[in-house]
């Protein structure tokens, strides 16, 4: 017997052998078991997701000699003939090659005749969107009211091209792309059954290249088996596909996190030996940064669908949230500018050097990179924040991408529910101005609103709601601080509680900043402890929201009781829009 390709050999023979598409299978199985059959079905989706396979299984379930059921026997002559593609009452039509109206009319001439062998005459029209308008017009009447022994199964990759008159006559089922993890699981099963040795990472490479198509994945697996002389190894598959080693992308991000420019450039040099698509490398890096950012905020949202869950979680611990957001923004801007670089490798290196050169506005810059010597600080030496020189305003203003730190809006979005009552300077001025002296900030705050209490030896839990809003903190640190509740105060220290959703953000850097601000405010060293536990006291953020709600309610009552407003409402049948009311102190 001649060799049969994997995509055909492992085509599902029953509904329970289908991989994915549970939302479609559930509807079809219930329709078959409950005898609630429509006369026309439309299956849409990209190539290789199972449209034709489901249609053939449906035809088999309709014509099985054991009766209409979601579980055809697979042994009767009708089931075998449909599986082998020679069932006389299953008329498969490739609409791409039969677009003329004469072809459609010829096809429909036999609709009125009863099936020759089966229970139903099934018309399976693939790529139905290729039919001409005249062909669709010829099909419409029969598609709407076919004889009881006829079923239409339509499949297309482009449902937008179908006339609305056709769509309205069919039950529509949209088949989804398969996730890489589902494809890997199926490839694992197929290769095990075929007794072919394989590497797990090779399957992830194949599933990613398949881009959601199971047929493409099986076809690529066939090619990998031939390329590897009967086995599927990671190196062979990577060479066959021409893809880069994903571990090198992880190494680039690790070098960025550790502020080691020599390591980053060395990885790029290693990449260049494979003649990669540098735009794809940068795209992979941006995509990885997205997964890292997600892991920092919602660790449970990171699955192993790309086979890199462990690496992503490690990078999430290694990088600060601010750096991830800044790197992501620089990467996006770099992708836009990369085509203008004289050499794509140079363009990629400049994007990576830009990530090393700039830091978020609230983070003091490090001196890892010397613009004159080109060498960084020793790898085993991490400069302390106190020893780091501060960037002056002129230096930041003349930087070529000084606007990038301003674009790190996720910090602002995290703090949007905190609603700081007093904003001394706009955010764009903060990014270009020197970091203020800690001692000068309380005085500036008190001049603006008089909200910050004077420094004192102890801190009353009831005062924390006001103190927390006015500590000299910015960005994400300020947001975290305003969501802390002061639960315990004694002679030795303070104990704060934070919610579980802040667990990924409460790293050592954020805790250190909050501690320093508290010690400066209290005027003496205190032990400060942060615990993830239930919050029994009001946080500064909750206090701020409550006060705003109270002021809003007072403003509404004041307007409702105002004689002028009452007269306007009475004479013009007006209505006071409560949500539009804003207190004058906001």
Phi, psi of 66 (to 5 degrees): -85, -5
Residue 552 pLDDT greater than 70, yes or no: yes
CA–CA gap between residue 441 and residue 562 (Å, rounded):
40
CA distance 124 to 477: 61
Do 125 and 93 form a contact (C-beta atoms < 8 A)? yes
Beta strand pairing status for 150-156 and 40-44? parallel
Average pLDDT on 140-163 reads 90
Measured distance CA(144)–CA(165) in Å, rounded: 10
The DSSP string of 167-179 is: HTTSEEEEPPPPP
- Is it the case that residue 376 has pLDDT exceeding 70? no
Q: Which residue has the higher pLDDT, 557 or 446?
A: 557
Tens of pLDDT, residue by residue over 270-302, are 888 878 888 889 998 999 999 899 989 888 887
Q: Per-domain residue ranges for the chain?
A: 6-174, 180-241, 246-381+388-405, 413-542
Q: Confirm or reject CATH 3.30.300 for domain 413-542, answering yes or no.
A: yes
Which strands sit side by side in the sheet containing 485-489, from one edge to the other? 485-489, 493-498, 527-532
What is the average per-residue pLDDT within 155-182? Answer: 90
- pLDDT for position 271: 87
Q: What are residue 240's phi and psi, to 5 degrees? A: -65, -40
Residue 321's CB: how many other CB atoms inside 10 A? Answer: 25
Query: Which residue is listed with tokens 């930087």?
Result: 399
At residue 452 the predicted structure's pLDDT band, cuts being 50, 70 and 90, is very low
Return all residues near 150 (Cβ < 8 A) that are at least 6 apart: 39, 111, 120, 121, 122, 123
Burial of residue 134 (CB within 10 Å: 0-12, 13-18, 19+) is middle
- The mean per-residue pLDDT over the stretch 43-68 comes to 91
pLDDT at position 58: 92
CATH number for the domain running over 180-241: 1.10.8.60
DSSP secondary structure letter of residue 454: P
Measured from the Cβ of residue 327, the count of other Cβ atoms closer than 10 Å reads 28
Full DSSP string of 332-376: HHHHHHGGGSSSHHHHHHHHHHHHHH---TTSPPP----TTT---
pLDDT of residue 585: 65
Q: Report the percent of the chain where pLDDT is more than 70.
A: 82
Cα torsion for 110, 112, 117, 119, to the nearest 10°?
140
pLDDT, mean over the chain:
80
pLDDT at residue 566 is higher than 70:
yes
**Residue 14 pLDDT > 70:** yes
pLDDT tens-digit readout, 197-222: 998 888 988 988 888 899 999 999 99
What pairs with residue 527 in β-bridges? 493
CATH number for the domain running over 246-381+388-405:
1.20.272.10
> Mean of the pLDDT values across residues 308-314?
84
| CATH superfamily label, 6-174 | P-loop containing nucleotide triphosphate hydrolases (3.40.50.300)
Instruction: Please count the residues of the chain.
Output: 586
Q: Under a CB-based contact definition with an 8 Å cutoff, are residues 479 and 418 in contact? A: yes
Predicted local distance difference test score (pLDDT) of residue 418: 40
Residue 434 has pLDDT above 60, yes or no: no
> How far apart are alpha carbons 183 and 215 in whole angstroms?
10
pLDDT at position 197: 92
Nearest to 130 by CA among 103, 173, 94: 94
159-179: average pLDDT: 91
**Which tens digit of pLDDT belongs to each residue from 489-526?**
877 788 899 988 788 788 888 888 888 888 888 777 77
């Amino acid at each position: 017997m001649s060799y049969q390709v994997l995509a055909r050999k492992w085509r599902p023979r029953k509904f329970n052998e289908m991989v994915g598409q549970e939302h479609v299978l559930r509807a079809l199985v219930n329709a078959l078991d409950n005898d609630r059959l429509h006369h026309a079905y439309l299956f849409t989706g990209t190539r290789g997701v199972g449209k034709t396979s489901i249609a053939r299984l449906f035809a088999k379930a309709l014509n099985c000699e054991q009766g209409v059921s979601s579980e055809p026997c697979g042994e009767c002559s009708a089931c075998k003939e449909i599986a082998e593609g020679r069932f006389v009452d299953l008329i498969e039509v490739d609409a791409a090659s039969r677009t003329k109206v004469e072809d459609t009319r010829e096809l429909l001439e036999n609709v009125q005749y009863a099936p020759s062998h089966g229970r139903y005459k099934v018309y399976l029209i693939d790529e139905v969107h290729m039919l001409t308008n005249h062909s669709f017009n010829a099909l419409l009447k029969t598609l709407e009211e076919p004889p009881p022994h006829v079923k239409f199964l339509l499949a297309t990759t482009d449902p937008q091209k179908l006339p609305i008159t056709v769509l309205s006559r069919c039950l529509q089922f949209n088949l989804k792309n398969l996730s890489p993890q589902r494809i890997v699981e199926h490839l694992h099963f197929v290769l095990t059954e075929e007794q072919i040795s394989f590497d797990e990472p090779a399957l992830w490479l194949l599933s990613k290249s398949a881009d959601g198509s199971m047929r493409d994945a099986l076809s690529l697996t066939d090619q990998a088996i031939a390329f590897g002389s009967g086995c599927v190894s990671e190196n062979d598959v990577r060479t066959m596909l021409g893809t880069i080693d994903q571990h090198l992308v992880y190494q680039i991000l690790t070098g960025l996190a550790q502020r080691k420019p020599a390591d980053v450039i060395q990885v790029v040099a290693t990449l260049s030996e494979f003649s990669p698509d540098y735009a794809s490398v940068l795209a992979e890096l941006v995509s990885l940064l997205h997964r890292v950012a997600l892991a920092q905020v919602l660790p449970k949202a990171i699955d192993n669908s790309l086979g890199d869950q462990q690496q992503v979680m490690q990078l999430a611990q290694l990088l600060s949230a601010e750096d991830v957001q800044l790197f992501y923004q620089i990467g996006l801007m770099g992708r836009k500018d990369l085509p203008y670089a004289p050499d794509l490798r140079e363009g990629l290196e400049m994007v990576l050097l830009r990530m090393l050169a700039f830091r978020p506005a609230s983070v003091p810059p490090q001196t890892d990179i010397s613009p004159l010597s080109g060498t960084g600080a020793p790898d085993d030496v991490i400069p302390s924040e106190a020893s780091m020189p501060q960037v002056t305003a002129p230096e930041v203003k003349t930087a070529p991408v000084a606007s990038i730190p301003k674009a790190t809006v996720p910090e602002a979005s995290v703090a949007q529910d905190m609603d700081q009552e007093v904003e001394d300077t706009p955010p764009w001025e903060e990014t270009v101005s020197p970091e203020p002296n800690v001692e000068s900030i309380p005085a500036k705050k008190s001049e603006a609103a008089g909200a910050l209490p004077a420094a004192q030896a102890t801190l009353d839990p009831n005062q924390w709601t006001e103190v927390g809003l006015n500590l000299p903190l910015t960005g994400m640190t300020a947001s975290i601080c305003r969501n802390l509740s002061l639960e315990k105060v004694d002679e030795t220290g303070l104990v704060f509680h934070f919610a579980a959703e802040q667990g990924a953000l409460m790293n050592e850097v954020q805790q250190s900043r909050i501690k320093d601000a508290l010690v400066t405010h209290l005027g003496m060293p205190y032990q400060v402890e942060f615990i993830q536990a239930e919050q029994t006291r009001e946080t500064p953020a909750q206090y701020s929201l409550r006060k705003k709600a109270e002021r809003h309610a007072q403003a509404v009552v004041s307007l409702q009781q105002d004689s002028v407003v009452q007269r306007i409402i009475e004479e013009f049948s007006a209505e006071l829009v409560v949500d539009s009311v804003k207190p004058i102190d906001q």
